[in-house]
Amino acid sequence: MGVDQLILQKIHTLPPEKQYEVLDFVEFLASKMNPPSQSKPRFQSLKQFRAALSPSQTSAAKLVSQMRDEEDERF
């Protein structure tokens, strides 16, 4: 069995929030190997970025969600 299959087996035993952490780490490792090119930003505005986040994906997304809620309460 290859290492990719072993990784998949282990990932399937984790809860979804931990699976997102693994994904984040893998993307981090990949970014270190392939520095980003000088392309235009993925999101054209903060509003698009916020809309793309799912509060259950990461702790950072939870923080953004809380900040959004606080911002909405002020207005």
Provide the domain limits for residue 51: 3-32+44-74
The whole-angstrom separation of Cα 12 and Cα 27 is 18
Residue 56 predicted with pLDDT over 90: no
Assess if residue 38 is contained within a domain. no
Q: Is the whole model's pTM more than 0.85, yes or no?
A: no
Read off the pLDDT of residues 11-51 as tens digits, 9 standing for 90 and up: 999 998 999 999 999 988 888 887 656 666 677 777 777 77
Assess if residue 14 is contained within a domain. yes
Q: Which residues contact 29 (CB under 8 A, 6 or more apart)?
A: none
Where would I find the H helices in 1-75? 3-12, 16-33, 46-52, 59-74
Domain count of the fold of the chain: 1
Assess if residue 39 is contained within a domain. no
